[in-house]
Amino acid sequence: ENAPGDPRQYTAYNVNGAGQASSDCGVTFVTVDLPAGLYAYEFKSTITVAKPNLTHTVGVWATRVVDDKTYVANTNYNFVPSGAAVVTERKLLDQNACNACHGTLEAHGGSRRDVNLCVLCHTPQSTDPESGNTVDFKVMVHKIHRGKDLPSVVAGGTYELIGFQGSVNDYSTVGYPQDLRTCETCHAGVQKDFWNQRPS
């Protein structure tokens, strides 16, 4: 359990056949108020809440194509199932820090554009079944940015992840453009100092 104000790691309720954190799908949106852009979504998945007094987070992404232009929205919603007030939120990351180097950082076909959404599925539960590498966000992102300097790559190996629609993503030549110890470049969220004050 996490103390108030001390978020640690997400654990996903939805898990696919490969044991990876997954999403709810298979139900369509119902239009509530089109001019206001309001829609309703009823979850298909049924979950059993193990710890109703802890903060839970639901992440949502949606895309819409209008006149050949794709619009993307990502958001997270925090709540406590018992009805108590939310006192613990995870705000370790800030998308603006990623976009400062990457432009618009996006994944999974362009529909995921907020790292605070990404961390909901990229948990320690999840491993890339093809490569055997974890896709836990903190491990994966640090390894991607270290790429060519990973001891396994220096020794002649590769660092690959099999991603969206079976694409092979080889990060063995990636190099972080700064000293790897410049942690504050990426750790720019509200809880930006947790990397140093509360390392996991």
Q: What is the pTM of this model?
A: 0.87
Instruction: Tally the C-alpha atoms within 13 A of residue 177's C-alpha that lie toward its C-beta.
Output: 5
Coil/strand/helix, residue 85: coil
In this prediction, residue 58 carries a pLDDT of 93
In this prediction, residue 2 carries a pLDDT of 53
Which H or E element spans position 115? helix 115-121
CA distance 22 to 4: 27
Q: Which of 75, 61, 144, 142 is nearest to 108 (CA)?
A: 61
In this prediction, residue 66 carries a pLDDT of 92
Which stretches in the chain have pLDDT values below 50?
Answer: 1
